[in-house]
């Protein structure tokens, strides 16, 4: 996630517009006479609603803090399944972290490469401030609840065309290292799934490709 947390929110005045966008995928296709045909394909919206629990929100902030300050190496897969398609986009995930050092790779693209205490601390403070704003206070964006042990569910409670954690998400963290071991995020017209297959707490210089 990292700086992806700074995704700009596009708020809209009416909830009806958002519900239509969430419930259907709009597709246009050209016809023989050069005009366009518009169709609406139903989207899977079968995600349980979340009743906000302030204690769960604080626990999620703690878990996110440990995720960013823990020491571990994690490898896994990231999958995006677009509504109405059966050929998901699949790629590898790699994270090596030993604060203040952190390296993250997804789909072959470098997400972050940090090896500076001051920069690490600045990014940490900024990110946790954003997470706190998402789940606490009168202007929070998400309702938060507990799921399975070590897991949290969040649900968007404002009208937004774009949102940092999608319309609904579930995050699960490893107790020992703090690493995010699984995530499922319902976005506007797709579902993203992240799963860690291998996780260890012993980190060496060799785990950082930039060494």
Q: What is the CATH number of the domain that holds 61?
A: 2.50.20
How far is residue 149's CA from residue 173's CA, in Å, rounded to a whole number?
A: 9
Q: How many domains does the chain divide into?
A: 1
H-type alpha helices, the chain:
15-23, 54-69, 117-135
Distance CA 76, CA 183 (A): 11
Distance CA 153, CA 90 (A): 23
Strand partners, 93: 76, 106
Between β-strands 109-115 and 101-106, what pairing exists: parallel, antiparallel or unpaired? antiparallel
117-135 helix and 54-69 helix, angle to the nearest 10 degrees: 160
Short-list 199, 202, 210, 192, CA closest to 94: 199
CA separation for the pair 152, 191 (Å, rounded): 17
Question: Considering the chain, what is the average pLDDT of its residues?
Answer: 83
Q: So what's the pLDDT on residue 18?
A: 31
CA distance 39 to 28: 6
Highest mean pLDDT among 20-24, 133-137, 159-163, 185-189: 133-137
The span from the CA of 145 to the CA of 157, in Å, is: 13
Q: Is 80's pLDDT higher than 80?
A: yes
SS3 128: helix
The band of 159, judged by pLDDT with boundaries at 50, 70 and 90, is confident
Q: Domain range for residue 29?
A: 2-207
Judged against a pLDDT cut of 50, whether residue 21 lies above it is answered with no
């Amino acid at each position: 996630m990292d700086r992806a947390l700074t995704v700009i929110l596009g708020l809209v005045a009416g909830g009806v517009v958002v519900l239509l966008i969430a419930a259907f995928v709009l597709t246009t296709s050209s016809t023989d006479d050069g005009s366009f045909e518009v169709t609406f394909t139903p989207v899977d919206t079968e995600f349980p609603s979340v009743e906000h629990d302030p204690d769960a929100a604080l626990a999620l902030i703690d878990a996110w803090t440990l995720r960013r300050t823990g020491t571990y190496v994690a490898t896994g897969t990231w999958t995006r399944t677009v509504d109405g398609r059966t050929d998901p986009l699949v790629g590898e995930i790699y994270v090596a972290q030993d604060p203040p050092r952190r390296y993250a790779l997804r789909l072959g693209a470098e997400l972050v490469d940090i090896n500076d205490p001051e920069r690490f601390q600045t990014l940490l403070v900024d990110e946790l401030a954003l997470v706190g704003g998402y789940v606490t206070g009168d202007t929070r964006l998400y309702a938060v609840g507990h799921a399975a042990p070590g897991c949290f569910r969040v649900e968007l409670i404002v009208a937004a065309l774009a949102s940092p954690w999608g319309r609904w998400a579930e995050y699960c963290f490893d107790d020992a290292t703090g690493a995010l071991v699984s995530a499922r995020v319902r976005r506007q017209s797709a579902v993203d799934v992240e799963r860690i297959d291998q996780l260890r707490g012993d980190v060496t210089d060799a785990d950082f490709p930039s060494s």
